[in-house]
C-alpha cells in the first residue's frame, strides 16, 4: 500500500483507473482529494484520511495555508488547513476564513491553494489577505479546464502543460509550487495521524 500527503483539490486520478472511497470527490470523471491528509492506494481503491486536529487559536500576523472554497459578491470563503509561520500546525477540520475581493486578492478561484496572512480574529470572524510580502499568494492552482496542476510562467502567469491554457489574473506566491508538507510538516503530520 502506497502512502503520500495530498492537499484539498489535488487531482488523484480518473474513474477509469481507480475506485474512489472516503475523502475523495468525483467531478467529470476526475478524482480529487477533499482533505489535507494521507492518500491510501490499495489495488484500485483510493481514499484520503484527514489529519487530526491540533487545538489552536489563530493570531493576527501568522501565515497560513488555505484553500479557496467559494466566492460571493464581495469575498472569498477560505478553508485554512495549516499554519506555516511562525507556528507550524495542521488545522483539521479546516478553519473558515473570509478574504475580501480587493486587490491583490482578486482573481483566485475555488480549489486554489494560497499562502495568506491572518488579518483579524475579532469576534470569531477570521479574515485573511494576500497583501504583504511576495511569498503571499497562490502557491498551487489546478487548470479549471482539465484539472492538471499549473506551472508558473513569467511574472504572474500560470501555464497548463496539459491543455496549453494560460492564466494571468492573480497574485502568484514567490514560493509557487512549494509543498510545505515535504519539509518538516510531513514528520509532524505522520506523528499526529498515528495518534
Q: Number of residues interacting with Zn ion: please give it, by CB under 5 A.
A: 7
What pairing do the DSSP bridges indicate for beta strands 63-71 and 45-50? Answer: unpaired
Shortest Å, Cβ 64 to Zn ion:
28
14, 106, 145, 168: which one contacts Zn ion (CB under 5 A)?
145
Residue environment code for 7-19, b if the CB has 16+ CB neighbours within 10 A, otherwise e: bbbbbbbeeeebe
**CB neighbourhood size of 152 (10 A):** 17
Give the span between the Cα atoms of 95 and 167, in whole angstroms: 28
Q: Minimum distance between the CB of residue 13 and Zn ion, rounded to whole angstroms?
A: 16
CA distances from 130 to 63, 106, 174 (A): 10, 9, 12
String of contacts with Zn ion for each residue 42-71, x by CB under 5 A? ------------------------------
Residues 147-176 that bind Zn ion (CB under 5 A): 148, 160, 162-163
- Applying CB under 5 A, among 34, 71, 98, 146 the residue interacting with Zn ion is 146
- Residues in touch with Zn ion (CB under 5 A): 143, 145-146, 148, 160, 162-163
Amino acid at each position: 500500500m502506497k502512502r503520500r500527503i495530498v492537499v484539498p483539490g489535488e487531482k488523484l486520478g480518473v474513474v477509469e483507473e481507480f475506485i474512489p472511497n472516503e475523502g475523495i470527490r468525483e467531478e467529470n470523471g476526475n478524482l480529487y482529494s477533499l482533505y489535507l491528509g494521507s492518500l491510501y492506494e490499495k489495488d484500485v481503491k483510493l481514499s484520503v484520511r484527514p489529519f487530526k486536529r491540533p487545538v489552536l487559536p489563530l493570531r493576527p500576523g501568522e501565515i497560513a495555508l488555505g484553500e479557496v472554497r467559494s466566492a460571493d459578491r464581495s469575498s472569498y470563503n477560505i478553508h485554512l488547513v495549516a499554519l506555516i509561520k511562525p507556528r507550524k500546525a495542521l488545522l483539521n477540520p479546516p478553519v473558515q476564513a473570509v478574504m475580501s475581493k480587493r486587490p491583490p486578492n482578486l482573481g483566485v478561484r475555488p480549489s486554489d491553494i494560497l499562502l495568506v496572512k491572518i488579518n483579524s480574529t475579532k469576534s470569531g470572524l477570521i479574515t485573511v489577505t494576500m497583501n504583504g510580502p511576495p511569498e503571499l499568494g497562490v502557491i498551487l492552482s489546478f487548470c479549471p479546464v482539465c484539472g492538471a496542476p499549473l506551472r508558473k510562467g513569467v511574472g504572474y502567469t500560470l501555464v497548463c502543460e496539459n491543455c496549453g491554457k494560460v492564466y494571468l489574473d492573480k497574485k502568484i506566491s514567490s514560493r509557487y509550487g512549494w509543498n510545505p508538507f515535504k519539509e518538516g510538516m510531513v514528520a509532524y503530520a505522520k506523528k499526529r495521524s498515528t495518534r
